[in-house]
Structure 1
Amino acid sequence: MAQQATPVRTARLGRGFGTEPATVCGVVLLLPGGDETSQRRPATMLGTAPVRALGRRLARAAKADGLAAHLVHYRWRGWNGSEENQARDADWAVQEAVRRYGDVPVCLAGFDMGGRAALRAGGHEAVNSVLAIAPWLPEEDRSVPPEPVKQLVGRRVLIVHGTNDRRTDPELSFRLAARAKKSNRDVCRFEVHSDGHGLHQHRDEVLALAEDFVMGALFGRHFSRPVEDAFAAPPPLGLRMPLASGFGRRR
């Protein structure tokens, strides 16, 4: 009796959010969360909800700018140590975007473990910006090298983290931002006071901040005052910028 070969699992790009423009001028790749270790299938629809909400908002905001926004479907749910599965899938997704759309700027936007994947894959030459929301980062250990930041040089980087996050430590994203800022002034970090991992309390403000950043980074729109001030501040300022219920409009 013939045996069937086990199919090889591959990453893929989901269907674009909104109507794909006739001419694509920029791409945002949305990276959902995951687990530190898991060989299970990737997150369900519920697990991708935070980045889907951002994808829908960006598609509406950039309808006339030529934005293609895609959810990245991972091969596995886990990062899995040295396998770095989600970072590898993010890097593949950038290459696939270049194959489909040519020489256009790419923004990697990730939540939770997807935030770590976005930061890791940010060194691809097509990537001009990285958005990491409540990124999962490993505990610091002097016996192993720290999370790399050199790949972020030349990219605009925005990190957003709730101060009451109990799943991903906001102090770790602060330290990473501080290290990255030493070699790249275009790094800023906003703290969402009293909010948790899902950033539900200030959801609208976080989405507005993310939209403002992505539209400015990909299409040269003017940043709102909070983002502009954060990027303009010399190190180490701009790493604990507050984000509360008020968010300025673009100028």
Structure 2
Amino acid sequence: MEDTIVARRIADEREHTGPGPAARADLSVADAGGQTRGVALVLHGGRADSFDQVRARHLSPARMLPFAQTLRSQGGPHGLAVWTLRNRYRGWNGPDMSPVQDARWALSEIAREHPGVPVFLLGHSMGGLTALCVADDPQVHAVVALAPWLTAETPVERVAGRRVLIVHGDEDRWTSPVNSLAYARRAEGVAASIDYVSLTGAGHFMFRRVGLWNSLANGFILDSFAASTGAEPAGTDALRQVLPATAALPVVL
């Protein structure tokens, strides 16, 4: 599947300065058809602490490939490029916040190639936390966080003016749906819009109710892309069938 979405790769040329072994992040880029009108940046999950290098065979990055493929097939012909980040290290690593550093680097590469175009972030677990932490980048318009790893201290100021969707399974035992809903309520009045969906019977790794995980996440990115650019990709109608524009917190599906 990876070969179907990867058109090219961008090398990480940053100097190694971290406490872990030398490692490089990896950006896989599926360019838009024609002019690039927006970029979706896909971020994977990980662990609390680990300086082990992320490999393509690991489940966390592999789990995000179907999302990237759908975004490319539905949004690519309308001008949506899909950039998929593979982090240097598997862990968050405390104050080092390794994936935040990598996501900032990815955003700087997007800005270098496509200055001013809207960016839409999609992350799972640790990647969801990362997405919310880097949402203050000036090109970011919207964020989707799937089963994000949040605490009561996760700041909401970084999503100011952004559209945000959080989706969490109510049977998640790895990250806290309670913390995610509390974050969403704290973000009301800060974010441009905030939606929270609780998926009944779903766990952390998105095996159950996989169709809803995908239609919500990809639909929200495509809907935000359409709102920001005037493009008309497929997939946005399905989103509003399950998530009305006037939905209150939380939506239980």
Q: With the length of structure 1 as denominator, give the TM-score of the two structures.
A: 0.83
Tell me by how many angstroms 1:185 deviates: 4.9
Range moving further from structure 2, 218-227 or 45-54? 218-227
* Residues 101-128 of structure 1 deviation map (CA, whole Å, 9 limit, x = unaligned): 2221101100010000000000100000
SS of the equivalent of 1:174 reads helix
1:177 lines up with 2:184 in the alignment? yes
CA contact 1:163–1:196 (8 Å) conserved in 2? yes
Report what 2:45 is aligned to: 33
Residue 132 of structure 2 is aligned to residue 125 of structure 1: no
Partner of 1:189: 196
Task: State how far apart, in whole Å, the 1-side matches of 2:39 and 2:183 are.
Answer: 25
Letter in 2 for 1:160: V
Q: Which amino acid aligns with 2:207?
A: H
| CA distance in 2 between partners of 1:228 and 1:207 (Å) | 17
Paired residue for 1:158?
165
- Greater Cα offset, 211-220 or 156-165: 211-220
Instruction: Give the deviation of 1:68 after TM superposition.
Output: 0.8
Report the Cα distance in structure 1 between the residues aligned to 2:55 and 2:166, rounded to whole angstroms: 22
How far residue 225 of structure 1 moved from its aligned partner, in angstroms, is 4.0
1:108 to 95, 116, 121: 121
Verify: 1:24 aligned to 2:31, yes or no.
Answer: no
- Specify which of 77, 85, 98 is matched with residue 90 of structure 2: 77
> Per the alignment, do residues 60 and 181 of structure 1 end up closer, same or farther by CA in structure 2, a change over 3 Å counting?
same
CA distances 1:132-165 after superposition (whole Å, capped 9, x unpaired): 0011124x4xxxxx11111101100000000001
* Distance (Å, rounded) in 2 between the aligned partners of 1:219 and 1:92: 26
Percent identical pairs in the alignment equals: 32
C-alpha distance in structure 2 between counterparts of 1:185 and 1:8, whole Å: 39
**Out of 227, 233, 236, which is 2:243 matched to?**
227
Equivalent-residue separation in structure 2 for 1:169 and 1:8 (angstroms): 32
Over 3 Å counting, the alpha-carbon distance change for 1:49 and 1:12 in structure 2 is closer
Deviation at 1:206, TM superposition (A): 1.5
Secondary structure, aligned partner of 1:219:
helix
Letter in 1 for 2:114: Y
Q: Could you tell me the TM-score, scaled by structure 2's length?
A: 0.82
Aligned to 1:48: 61
Distance 1:125 1:106 in 2: 9
Contact 2:23 2:53 survives alignment (8 Å): no
Shift of 1:21: 2.0
Q: Identify the residue that residue 12 of structure 1 maps to in structure 2.
A: 26
Q: Report deviation, 1:25.
A: 0.7
Contact 2:243 2:251 in 1 (8 A): no
1:42, 1:74 within 8 Å by CA — same for their partners in 2? yes
Unaligned runs of 5+ in 1: 1-5, 141-145, 244-251
Measured against aligned partners, the alpha-carbon deviations of 1:168-192 in whole angstroms (never above 9, x if no partner) come to 1111111111101142350111010
Q: Which moved more, 1:83-92 or 1:45-54?
A: 45-54
- Residues 135 and 158 in structure 2, CA contact (< 8 A), matched pair in contact too: yes
* Partner secondary structure for residue 89 of structure 2: coil
Partner of 2:174: 167
Preserved CA contact (<8 Å) 1:177 1:188: yes
* Structure 2: gaps of 5 or more residues: 1-15
Secondary structure, aligned partner of 1:173: helix
